[in-house]
């Protein structure tokens, strides 16, 4: 599902929690010049990242069948992880897990729960200069 308004920012949200993806999508839909895609399936998200260019990918780490790790691993192996602005969402407070994620090549780790102000700041941070 996508919203297109001649976008300045293309965002992909990958999270198994439909309430989260729909909330972020609805929020992005209310903003100007954002094209927001969402999926609740890690495999589908990985395929979208491989086929298309997004300015920001918001990726949940803990998904049941195909986790955020499963998305990150092949991107890193193919040498394209660093070409994507991937921000990982996690509820984990485990220091070692956070360190591992931070060293994986993703842009940053974003703690759940988060606010709409924090989402706004993320979008601003990764908005491309065109």
Q: Give rounded-to-5 percent helix, strand, coil for the chain.
A: 40, 20, 40
Domain ranges of the chain: 9-126
92/24: higher pLDDT: 24
Which pLDDT value is given to residue 93? Answer: 66
Angular region, 79: left φ>0, alpha ψ -120 to 50, beta rest:
left
The per-residue pLDDT for range 5-45, each reduced to its tens digit, is: 446 899 999 999 999 999 999 999 898 789 999 999 999 99
Residue 97 Cα distances to 67, 93, 112, 120, angstroms: 14, 8, 14, 26
The per-residue pLDDT of the chain, averaged, comes to 87
pTM given for the model: 0.87
Give the class (CATH, top level) of 9-126.
alpha beta
Contact 13, 21 (CB under 8 A): yes
CA atoms of 11 and 84, how far apart (whole Å): 11
């Amino acid at each position: 599902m996508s919203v297109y308004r001649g976008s300045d920012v293309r965002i992909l949200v990958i999270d198994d929690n439909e309430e989260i993806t729909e909330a972020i999508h609805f929020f992005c839909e209310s903003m100007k010049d954002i094209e927001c895609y969402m999926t609740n399936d890690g495999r589908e998200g990985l395929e979208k990242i491989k086929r298309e260019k997004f300015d920001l990918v918001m990726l949940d780490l803990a998904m049941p069948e195909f986790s955020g790790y499963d998305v990150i691993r092949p991107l890193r192996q193919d040498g394209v992880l660093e070409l994507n602005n991937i921000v990982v969402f996690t509820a984990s407070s485990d220091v070692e897990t956070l360190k591992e994620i931070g060293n994986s090549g993703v842009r940053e780790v974003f703690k759940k729960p988060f606010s709409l102000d924090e989402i706004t700041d993320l979008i601003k941070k990764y908005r491309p200069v065109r």
